[in-house]
């Protein structure tokens, strides 16, 4: 009863502060690359999402429902991309349309480490450019975003067209999607598993495996090498033709973000030229990527990249000894100076007030006592450096320069 | 098909940028008063929300549902407070627990101006203090938040205990909740309407109306005046015993935020000492308030307090004439300096590149052309002041100081 639904998460202040820092860093990188935010609703009409994610997702993963008040079917956002396509059809923004959305996503998955039923995605997409420079901009930006967050990632990169050439070469072009779906499971089921499954649908299974392991560059189109040429940090890129991510959906370059010692991708994306125009029945090229914030937090905390040390935005605790009203005025004056200030609201003694300060790890104290007040003073204290200083009340602005 | 569900809203970049500015200002005020964020899920178990909001809300307004994958009943957040109560029972944070949550809320209302089925609330609550200073802190903070946003508001303030005394005085104590519910409709149905409805349940209707119009101070308890005494801007307060807001729920001070020329409250809150402990079956005092962000945006735009002039976070457009690759490198160098930079990804000519710049109203240009490049220069231009300046490529940092 007191837990949130299975697969959802409460963020304590420490976690929410970390989350805000992560979001703010991702946003600043997205903005550096010329992306602007849009927000679309959590709730969409089911009709809008229907048929966009494949049968499997529709049956198992989409949160869809009716409410007692209406006969309409609704669904919760399954990703940020179909809502973008709907948005695009509605507003017809000038091209290229470079937008980011950092928002919740809902998938009725089986919850596991780093995987939730309600989770946060930070998506950035470029709508309207068919050119390699758009793909490259996404790759450069994603590498920078993870670096800014302190993650030493590499990007597995490939191109649907390369795998298509490979499959065509062995003469199984017609079975491309089925074969790609099997190859996509390589990480989970391994070479043996892939071979076994391929054998069930083609007698070229061994040849395919052999070619995949060779990872032959010849299959990649010219445009792919133009993308790679524009990537700034080429050492972060691992070209891997076995990456067969979502080829129901992706039409060109695809990538996944990996970190050593974690068995799933932290994010990914690619080019998808058939989705954005779906509501307006046009072909609108698009390329984008998504950062999964929940696995980032879970892995980042586990690996010590993040910590939960920051427990509050409060900078100063005004501690009073008997003189609440004067302390209250001083607290409000400090707030007028733009400082984040706590004052006890429980009429507690000095010791209890300090317990709160220690629990929340508030760095600075302004102690208001009778003796000091008689001389129009307060005592300022830095709990970290242990410095103490008497400050005249008419001179409270001085505190601003003492607080970091 | 291409519209989002009725009563929900797409935020274009201009609107999302305004939204972010509003949220950031509210957060900075909440933080100044020592509040920290928490995040709770959008989806809750229906069991958690059931019985907390009254029959009317349950029947008409709550989004509740099952998904095909499960027999569990879920519901979307109806407010930020019941999730706070659940959070409190789960984590038992040290008191006082001062948290804010800026998040979506879902009510299956009939949509109208400023009222949505999916909308944003900025809530701040103090859990654990029964004292007037907690109520006063909420009032001071709310006044400051609206002022920071540029709104000249006043707060209608009252206290459940005052109306209780009044009703007790006329001898109708037993009918308090019913009478309060009628009085709460004063703004909508006027004095006549209230009188008529009161007459249906009491023969003291005229006396009650008379006392309400007198607004007699004698009915307010000592603690209420202690709250008012601690309010910094008393000229923003209108004490009005006719304010009978949600007395199923509020137990002491109540307030609503009003602005001249808008027929609904922009926000409100009060003391509610019976909710937070509901899951742990204790009495935990609490006081808080909520800012409705959607009506704020709608009214703020209408009244010219807000505008949609800021269309992008992008500071600089790198414009190239034939020399894309060099321009690409320069764009990335400017990003390394922390600047927000756009470069065309559509291989367009100068004129088309400039059309985008004008559409998005990007202030600064860095023009990369063959002639300049031969001298290791680029041309920097401020579209606002019309200043132009040649800048050596090895000296791009200079641009940082030229950009505001």
> Which tens digits make up the pLDDT trace of A277-318?
999 899 999 999 999 999 999 999 999 999 999 999 999 999
Residue B287: φ, ψ to 5°: -145, 145
Contact list, A328 vs chain B (CB under 8 Å): 133, 230
d(CA A207, CA A191) in angstroms, rounded, equals 13
> Pick from A1, A47, A108: which is nearest to B279 by CB?
A1
Contact list, B48 vs chain A (CB under 8 Å): 1
Cβ contact (<8 Å) for B5 and A65? no
Per-chain mean pLDDT for chain A: 95
Residue B168: φ, ψ to 5°: -60, -40
Handedness of CA B68, B72, B78, B81 (dihedral sign): negative
What part of B 344-403 touches A (C-beta under 8 Å)?
A: 344-347, 355-356, 359
What part of A 263-292 touches B (C-beta under 8 Å)?
A: 279-280
Cβ contact (<8 Å) for B314 and A36? yes
Burial of A275: CB neighbours in 10 Å, binned 0-12, 13-18, 19+: buried
What part of B 47-76 touches A (C-beta under 8 Å)?
A: 47-48, 59-60, 63-70, 72, 74, 76
> Pick from B39, B90, B108: which is nearest to A69 by CB?
B108
DSSP string, B10-25: -B-HHHHHHHHHHHHH
Instruction: Look at residue B316 and give its three-state secondary structure.
Output: strand
Q: Consecutive sets of 10 residues in chain A, 404 residues long: mean pLDDT of each? A: 91 98 98 98 97 90 96 97 97 96 95 88 98 98 98 97 95 94 91 95 94 92 97 97 88 96 90 95 96 95 96 98 96 98 97 96 97 97 96 96 92
What part of A 109-168 touches B (C-beta under 8 Å)?
A: 117-118, 126, 128-129, 131, 133-134, 137, 140, 144
* Nearest 10 degrees: Cα torsion B321, B325, B329, B334: 30
Each of the 404 residues of chain B gets a pLDDT tens digit; together they read 589 999 999 999 999 999 999 999 999 999 999 999 999 999 999 999 999 998 888 999 999 999 999 999 999 999 999 999 999 999 999 999 999 999 999 999 888 877 899 999 999 999 999 999 999 999 999 999 999 999 999 999 999 999 999 999 999 999 999 999 999 999 889 999 999 999 999 999 999 999 999 988 999 999 999 999 999 999 999 999 999 988 888 999 999 999 988 888 999 999 999 999 999 899 999 999 999 999 999 999 999 999 999 999 999 999 999 999 999 999 999 999 999 999 999 999 999 999 999 999 999 999 999 999 999 999 999 999 999 999 999 999 999 999 98
Instruction: Look at residue A330 and give its three-state secondary structure.
Output: helix
| A327 close to B (CB below 8 A) | no
Task: Delineate the domains of chain A, giving CATH numbers in brackets.
Answer: 13-302 (3.30.930.10), 316-402 (3.40.50.800)
Instruction: Look at residue B40 and give its three-state secondary structure.
Output: coil
Distances in whole angstroms, Cα of residue B46 to Cα of each of A2, A308, B74, B265: 12, 31, 5, 28
What part of B 1-20 touches A (C-beta under 8 Å)?
A: 1-5, 8-13, 15-17, 19-20
Contact list, A147 vs chain B (CB under 8 Å): none
Strand-pairing partners, residue B44, are B75
Cβ contact (<8 Å) for A99 and B13? yes
Token pair of B318, please? 């790198």
Return the residue of B nearest to A2 by Cα.
Answer: B86
Q: How distant is the Cα of B343 from the closest Cα of chain A, in angstroms?
A: 8
Q: Which of B86, B136, B101, B92 is nearest to B287 (CA)?
A: B136
- Angle B15-B19-B22 (CA atoms, 0-180°, nearest 5)? 140
d(CA B345, CA A340) in angstroms, rounded, equals 43
Contact list, A11 vs chain B (CB under 8 Å): 37-40
d(CA A398, CA A393) in angstroms, rounded, equals 10
Cβ contact (<8 Å) for A13 and B38? yes
């Amino acid at each position: 009863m007191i837990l949130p639904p299975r697969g959802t998460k409460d963020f304590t202040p420490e976690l929410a502060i970390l989350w805000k820092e992560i979001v703010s860093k991702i946003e600043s990188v997205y903005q550096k690359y010329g992306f602007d935010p849009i927000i679309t609703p959590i709730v969409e009409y089911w009709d809008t999402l229907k048929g966009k994610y494949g049968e499997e997702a529709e049956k198992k993963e989409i949160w869809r429902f009716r409410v007692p008040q209406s006969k309409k079917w609704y669904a919760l956002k399954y990703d940020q991309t179909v809502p973008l396509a709907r948005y695009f059809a509605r507003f017809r923004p000038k091209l290229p349309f470079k937008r980011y959305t950092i928002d919740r996503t809902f998938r009725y998955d089986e919850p596991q480490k780093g995987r939730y039923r309600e989770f946060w995605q930070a998506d950035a997409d470029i709508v309207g450019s068919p050119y390699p420079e758009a793909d490259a901009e996404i790759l450069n930006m994603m590498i920078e975003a993870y670096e800014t967050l302190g993650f030493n990632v590499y990007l597995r990169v490939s191109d649907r067209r390369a795998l298509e050439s490979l499959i065509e070469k062995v003469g199984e072009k017609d079975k491309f999607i089925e074969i790609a779906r099997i190859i996509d499971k390589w990480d989970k089921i391994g070479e043996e598993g892939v071979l076994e499954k391929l054998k069930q649908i083609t007698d070229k299974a061994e040849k395919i495996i052999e070619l995949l392991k060779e990872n032959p560059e010849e299959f990649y189109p010219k445009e792919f090498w133009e993308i790679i040429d524009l990537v700034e940090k080429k050492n972060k890129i691992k070209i891997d033709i076995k990456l067969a991510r979502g080829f129901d959906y992706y039409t060109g370059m695809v990538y996944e973000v990996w970190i050593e010692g974690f068995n799933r991708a932290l994010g990914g994306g690619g080019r998808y030229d058939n989705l954005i125009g779906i509501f307006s029945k046009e072909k609108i090229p698009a390329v984008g990527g998504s950062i999964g914030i929940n696995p980032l937090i879970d892995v980042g905390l586990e690996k010590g990249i993040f910590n939960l040390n920051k427990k509050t935005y409060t900078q100063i605790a005004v501690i009073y000894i008997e003189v609440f009203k004067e302390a209250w005025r001083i607290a409000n004056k400090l707030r007028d100076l733009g400082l984040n200030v706590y004052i006890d609201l429980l009429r507690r003694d000095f010791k209890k007030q300090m317990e709160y300060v220690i629990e929340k790890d508030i760095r600075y104290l302004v102690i208001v006592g009778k003796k000091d007040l008689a001389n129009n003073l307060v005592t300022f204290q830095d709990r970290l450096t242990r410095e103490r200083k008497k400050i005249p009340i008419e001179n409270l602005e001085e505190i601003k320069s003492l607080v970091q």
